[in-house]
Amino acid sequence: MKVIKFGGSSLANSTQLKKVLSIVKADDQRRYVIVSAPGKRFDGDTKVTDLLIQYARLTIHHQATAAIVQTIIDRYAEIGHGFNVPEAQLTPIFTTIKNLPNQTYADNTYLMAAFKAHGERLNAQLVAAVFQQMGLNARYLDPKDAGMVVTDVPDDAQLIASSYANLAKWAASEQILVIPGFFAYNRNGQICTFSRGGSDITGAIVARGVQADRYENFTDVDAIYAVNPKLVHQPAAISEMTFREMRELSYAGFSVFHDEALIPAIEGNITVNVKNTNHPEAPGTLIKSTRACNTAYPVTGIASSSSFCSLYLRKYLLNKEVGFGRKILTILEDHHVSYEHMPSGIDDLTIIFDEHQLTTALETELTAEIAAAVQPDELYFTHDYSILMLVGENMRNRVGIMSRAATALAQHGIKLIMVNQGASEISIMFGVHDRDADQAVIALYHEFFKA
């Protein structure tokens, strides 16, 4: 059987939902439907999730909410009315929206999580009602009833492993089960959301739990592309890639999946198929544990992200000082700061961070504590930092990849401020200035896909 997930753009209005309905009807193996909240209908539109965030903030600050409530209700009403869903089935959805501020929440972080999660929760209820109205044997399945239990972190929850056994009980369902993405419940029955890409995570979790033959993830693109289509016109489509390649590229900025989203599918060895809701006949991109090698194309994809900063440290003979790295990592641990990479030399060390976890005040504090602990000759943060990833299973045991990449960047006047290869055989990481990132991606694409 198949688990299928639809993103917000696929569920933005009744017109899009008609396409979803056709896709579900076209294959009787598609029995588990994971839904996101309704997304943008056009450029400049606001996603329902963002409307719910506004609603939550107004509620927290005790401001008027009538206008935002009506805007949210109108989004769901348009979809329901487009399929003549009876008012008796729509009214509970509208009532739930109105009553969100009247529920009891542990604190404002749980309030925000619950408000956001209702974008998916109410849309799944509505989609199930639409399917029933159109003659499908479908029902809504809440994550609580499915047995999905998560850690007690309201906005970055992790699934508790015993949930997979609970989900396995639904593997023999003869009905189409419509399940909301993005959230589940902690052991106290409170709603907690997954991180970014939460509906993708739910889809992968359900696919592993019911041991699906395939997890189809429907988006608004025909395939995953070798490079960001906003940077290169009509880039090469990727027909097949491995989980490792997808993880590496997602980490570096590929927007198709958040880098954590596929882990349950990887653990369950379930093939993922990225497809287009608007062109479901297109084969899309298959993501699986292994694939056949195409020696003509050693590189599978190129990605970049500008959300990094670095801490540079220089001290003569640091390589001779036992415990030097431990002292620094202990300070980071004490401040709950994780690092991404740590390239080093005999006298130099660079620590790369996701800059979203740092503030100016925290940087000042970290600098002072590290300086006191290890007495460096030089120590400073740098923020003009982008990371590029060149990724491909076929790069293993290939001679000349680094040379070609460095030459292509040099020909475009792009200075490399960091190069890292070795931790992974299938990727090379480059650090460049933010202003050079887009041009660097284009240069690498033309070297490896246009040459």
E strands present in 270-409: 271-276, 285-288, 301-314, 348-354, 378-391
Distance, in Å, from the CA atom of 242 to the CA atom of 244, rounded to the nearest integer, reads 5
Local confidence band at 421 (pLDDT 50, 70, 90 cut-offs): confident
Q: Give me 222's structure tokens.
A: 């025909």
State residue 260's pLDDT score. Answer: 76
Task: In the chain, count H helices and then E strands.
Answer: 14, 17
**88-133 pLDDT tens trace:** 999 999 999 999 999 999 999 999 999 999 999 999 999 999 999 9
Distance, in Å, from the CA atom of 177 to the CA atom of 189, rounded to the nearest integer, reads 21
- Does residue 435 carry a pLDDT above 80? yes
Provide Rg for the chain, Cα atoms: 24
Provide the 10 A C-beta neighbour count for residue 44.
Answer: 6
Whether the Cβ atoms of residue 139 and residue 133 lie closer than 8 Å to each other: no
Helix H, strand E, coil C: the string for 299-336 is CCEEEEEEEEEEEEEECCCHHHCCCHHHHHHHHHHHCC
**207-256 pLDDT tens trace:** 999 999 999 999 988 999 999 999 999 999 999 999 999 988 887 777 67
State residue 215's pLDDT score. Answer: 97
State residue 80's pLDDT score. Answer: 98
Lowest mean pLDDT among 12-16, 117-121, 142-146, 350-354: 350-354
How far from the centroid of its chain's Cα atoms is residue 20's Cα?
22
- Does residue 380 carry a pLDDT above 80? yes
State residue 451's pLDDT score. Answer: 58
Polymer length of the chain:
451
State residue 51's pLDDT score. Answer: 98
Distance, in Å, from the CA atom of 192 to the CA atom of 183, rounded to the nearest integer, reads 6
**147-205 pLDDT tens trace:** 999 999 999 999 999 999 999 999 999 999 999 999 999 999 999 999 877 899 999 99
Its pTM stands at 0.87
Per-chain mean pLDDT for the chain: 94
State residue 235's pLDDT score. Answer: 94
Distance, in Å, from the CA atom of 170 to the CA atom of 139, rounded to the nearest integer, reads 12
- Does residue 354 carry a pLDDT above 80? yes
List, in sequence order, every residue forming a beta bridge with 228; answer none if it has no partner: none
Question: What residue ranges define each of the domains in the chain, with the CATH number in brackets?
Answer: 2-220 (3.40.1160.10), 308-382 (3.30.2130.10)
Whether the Cβ atoms of residue 160 and residue 150 lie closer than 8 Å to each other: yes
